[in-house]
Amino acid sequence: SAVISQKPSRDICQRGTSLTIQCQVDSQVTMMFWYRQQPGQSLTLIATANQGSEATYESGFVIDKFPISRPNLTFSTLTVSNMSPEDSSIYLCSVSTGWSGGYTFGSGTRLTVV
Amino acid sequence: DAKTTQPPSMDCAEGRAANLPCNHSTISGNEYVYWYRQIHSQGPQYIIHGLKNNETNEMASLIITEDRKSSTLILPHATLRDTAVYYCIVRVGSYSGGYQKVTFGTGTKLQVIP
C-alpha cells in the first residue's frame, strides 16, 4: 500500500496567520483526501483533491479558508488560512490504496492556534 | 455510504478477546465493511474488511451476519497497545470505490485494562 509523508507533524501558530501542510505519497494516486479531527472528535472530510482540477469541498468548508493544491499525482498541500483558535485540530491526508477500496492515512499534523 | 452505529466505548481485559460490534442495517449489496483504528494522535490504520464471508488476518477477525446488517471485529488476545478508537465503515469495495469519500462515524473507544 501507499506510504504517505505528512509535514509538519505539529505546529503552534499565531492567530491570523496561515499554515501550509504537505502530503507526499510514494506512488501516483488519483484522489487525495483531506480531513480535520477536532479535539475528542471523529474525522471530518474537508475536501477531495483530484490532480488537474479544483478540489471538491464538503459542506461547511470553503476554498478561501482551506485552499488546496494538487500539482501532480504524488503531492498535495492544504493551507489553513487566517487561523483562529477554533482551527486547532489534527489535519490528515489520505489516499486510496487501490485494492478493494481501502485507504492509507498520513500521520497527521497537530495544529495549535494561540 | 451507509450509516453505521457503534457503542461509544468498551473495556477489555488484557489477554482476553475484544469483540467490537457494528450495526449497518442499510448496507447495500455492493458495499464492504471496513474496520480502521486510530491510536492516540496517529492517523487511522486499516485493520480488515469483508463483504459477506468471515475474514481473518494477522490483526483481527471479522464476523459478518448472514443478513449483513451487522458485524463484529474480534481482537483475539487484546494487548495494551490495542487501546484505540475503532471505526466501522461501509462503502463500495471496488477499485473505483477508492474515488469515493469515506465518512467516519464516532467509533468505539476501546480501553484495554491490565
What one-character-per-residue DSSP string does A31-60 give? EEEEEEE-TT---EEEEEEETTSPPEEPTT
pLDDT of residue A98: 65
Q: What is the DSSP string of A75-107?
A: EEEEEE-S--GGG-EEEEEEEE-SSTT-EEE--
pLDDT above 70 (res A58): yes
pLDDT tens sequence across A4-54: 999 999 999 999 999 999 999 999 988 899 999 999 899 999 999 988 788
Beta-carbon separation of B87 and A101 below 8 A: no
Q: How confident is the model at residue B102 (pLDDT cuts 50, 70, 90)?
A: confident
Look over chain B and give the mean of its residue pLDDT values, rounded to a whole number. Answer: 90
Cβ <8 Å between B93 and A45: no
Shortest Cα–Cα distance, A54 to chain B (Å): 15
Report the residue from A44, A94, A102 with minimal CB separation from B34.
Answer: A102
Best A21, A42, A46, A48 member to test B by mutation, with max B CBs in 10 Å, is A42
pLDDT tens readout for residues B8-29: 999 999 999 999 999 999 998 8
Question: How much is the average pLDDT of B37-47?
Answer: 90
**A90 grid coordinates:** 489534527
Reported confidence tier of residue A92, pLDDT bands at 50, 70, 90: very high
Instruction: Find, among A95, A88, A4, A60, the residue nearest to B100 by Cα.
Output: A95
B91 → closest Cβ in A6, A101, A110: A101
For B72-83, what is the mean pLDDT? 97
| Residue B67 pLDDT level (bands cut at 50, 70, 90) | very high
Q: Give the pLDDT of residue B2.
A: 62
Average pLDDT over chain A, rounded to an integer: 92
Per-residue pLDDT averaged across B79-98, rounded?
81
Partners of residue A67 on adjacent β-strands? none
> Given a cut of 70, is residue B50 above it in pLDDT?
yes
| Whether B92 and A48 lie within 8 Å, measured CB to CB | no
- A101 and B94 within 8 Å at the Cβ level: the answer is yes
How far B5 CA lies from chain A's nearest CA (Å)?
A: 13
pLDDT at B45: 92
Dist. CA A15–CA A17, nearest whole Å: 6
Q: How far apart are CA B33 and CA A111, in angstroms?
A: 31
Identify the pLDDT of residue B90. 87
The residue with greater pLDDT, A103 or A47, is A47
Query: Which is higher by pLDDT, B100 or B28?
Result: B28
Contacts of B95 in chain A (CB under 8 A): 98-101
